[in-house]
Structure 1
Amino acid sequence: MENATLLHALVYNAIDGIIIMDDVGIIESINPVACKLFAYTEQEVLGNNISMLMPNGDKESNDYYLQHYKSTNQAQITGIGRELIGRTKEGYQFPFKLGVSEVKYAGRRIYAGFIHDLTKQKKDEIRLKNYASHLEELVEQRTKTLKETIKALEKSKEKVSITLEKEKALSKLKNRFLSMASHEFRTPLSTAQLSASLIEKYAEPLENPNIVKHAGKIINAVTNLTTVLNDFLYIEKLEVGKVKANLTCFDLEQLAQEITEEMQLLSKGEQQIHFSHYGVQKRIKLDQNLIKNSVINLITNAIKYSSDTSRIDFTTEINDSHCIIKVKDEGIGIPEKDQKHLFKPFFRAHNTGNIPGTGLGLNIVARYIALMEGEISYSSVIDKGTLFTLTFSNT
């Protein structure tokens, strides 16, 4: 009695629908879950064929399976879960999975049908299928877009290649012209400078200030033009890779003193160049010519952009880890908005006015320092001057 009560409780409280039927499919028992699934009351179902819970087509199939099993004992329904379509009292159809087990009880055969609602699972499958289809369409679309992009990139690459070849040709032509111009103009400029100097010398006995004045203008103009041509020549050599760092050991203090004496002769008015060396060490391994050209360029700028009575400080320092070279002036300074462009070729700050220059000097210096694996930095304040610092490793 207790076992029967326990079995009844298990059937009536199961999470899936359970239907008990005889060997011809007549329903003898149905639990509450199955009643809820098919929207029937227990009294409406008992004594009816299980086919009432299925569409007409499945009724014939279900009767066939039962008859086939009874005559052959071959399981085509029992012990095998099948997906079927159920029909509620209102005619609503839904998918479910049916598993049937044969039970021999009191000398007769009965069948227990276990019903699991597949409505949510089927919706999820449809949703997943639609999502997969959407992904396939999206992948196809993206693939198509990618192919179109690749084609466009290939066309752009061809155009860029053609443009690049033209640029290379123009660059070669420009470099050849600069090289030719620099060399071809150098001789007549030297002749003009020499002639102007001779005129100035021969005019001394005449004591004619106008001759001296105009001869000086000619010399200055020739000097400025020679500087421009030299800058172009340096750029051309850098562009074609002719300039290489030739590292040798030399006395930095001695070189700096020679540069100071040379540049003092080119200073304006009462300008004074003050040189100082810090540290016991004097020798350093760098490219002496590149260092000299870089420092001359920085001091030339300091002279050019400072007043006739200003002071220019030139210092060198060698310690255990670094070699540091500084050039500080009291000139016009560099506007803050222009500082980010300072080392670009042909760039000149907006406050340079009529002061001559090519805008190539600092670009050349930066590239020379890079060849020696050094760093160039600066600080500048308008109308208070600029400090350039060259730093090299001494390890």
Structure 2
Amino acid sequence: MSRPIDDLTPVIAAAVTADRRRALILVDRHGRILSWNAGAARLFECSAANAIGGDIARFVPIGPEVGAIDALVASQSTGEAADRWLVRADQTEFVATVDVAPIDRAGSEPVFALQIEDVTDRRAAAVSLERSEAHLQSILATIPDAMIVIDERGVIESFSAAAARLFGYTEAEVIGRNVGMLMPGGDRARHDDYIAHYRQTGEKRIIGTGRIVVGRRRDGSEFPMDLAVGETLLEGHRLFTGFIRDLTTQQEAELRLKQLQSELIHISRVSAMGTMASTIAHELNQPLAAITNYMEASEDLLRQLPIDTDLLGEAVSQSAREALRAGAIVRRLRDFVARGEVERRVEPLAGLIEDASRLALIGARERGVRALIDLDPQAPLVLADRVQIQQVVVNLVRNAVEAVQGRTVRDVTITTRRIEPDRVRITVADTGGGIDPAIEPRLFEAFNTSKEAGMGLGLSISRTIVEAHGGRIWAENLKQGGAAFHFTLESGAI
């Protein structure tokens, strides 16, 4: 309801003088400016002397009906201030809230009070916030990792599109419910206790770190996931944001990779057996021939009377010893070819080296190769899968034996050294021609070989095995000639 202007004069006068934050302007029905306060002078960058008497349309465009101030009143039909573009004296534009109030004057045409506040910065901030929120929503809708926000009671407040795809729930189905619905039974029962414990003690268990946990989908199926949780305070309320990545495919790929690795190692062992077939036959022939000779001698002794029991006993004893020797050779070959699950255990390094080198050096002595073994007593044990590490030693020793063929000095040296409190180095060195510079950069890559009939898998498989054991493998040419291959294993000593 409008009031007589006489009653409002003191109020308007005080506002015109004191309010320097807002523009307070009086205009008549035709838009002629009657009053212009300091706030208007600052806002429009125009002094009162230059504004009073002029048309308000210079600063507040009101459409084609110039002077029709009623247009401003009509635009405010809701009774609330309206935002519109205004113009300063230098013709720059800005957004402002314009509040128009008619003031009756007894016996005269009414005047209108315009209260104007610059909201450009506020509008810009609002637009920026809207854009930021839209940008954030677009990010949350497209990132592959699921995101869930819960409050300090465990109630879900936000559920991204990726989370909906991962768990099979829509956002509407989970908002307002406890996040335990996304966990298996055991974790669900403990989760609220974890949150309560954190609120009471401040002890962080997963906040700020990552952990592999199990999630539960809508259909009841469970899956492994990588969970990272962050914490924030918003207007006095604690919120927890969880980023979730499904590990199902990754773990399946890792399992398949291990299976393929085991298959490849097995194939490599069988392939190595094929190349050693002739020398193995020679190695077995020696004890079998000895057994035959001792048995024939025993048969001759049995025909003679009186029987020389001492000599007969010696012949039988030697036959048994040679039979055990042949059995040991067959057993080592069977263990070498056998395929089993990878399982690291504490193994005596001396026995591991001895068994592997004996197998790799079959026939080497007949070709003039001298094998030297230098074991460090400070490195008696290693943590290893025996069969796999024997595969590495066999590969390296057999390569060394081949490297010294045709050389004047044909030495293969196997050395062990403790290089750190928890690390052991095994070295296989030879007196061959050294590593060809052309293949040295790709020495441990698959199908890289200098042998005419080689497949180039031995060193590649050796590197895979050593790295799977947490060690490393490398090679170097020696100053005195030849090459040395080194690899490391974790010590099994306590």
Could you say which structure has the greater relative contact order, defined with CA pairs below 8 angstroms and 6 or more residues apart?
A: 1
TM-score by length of 2: 0.40
Rg larger in structure: 1
TM-score by length of 1: 0.48
The structure where helix makes up a greater share of residues is: 1
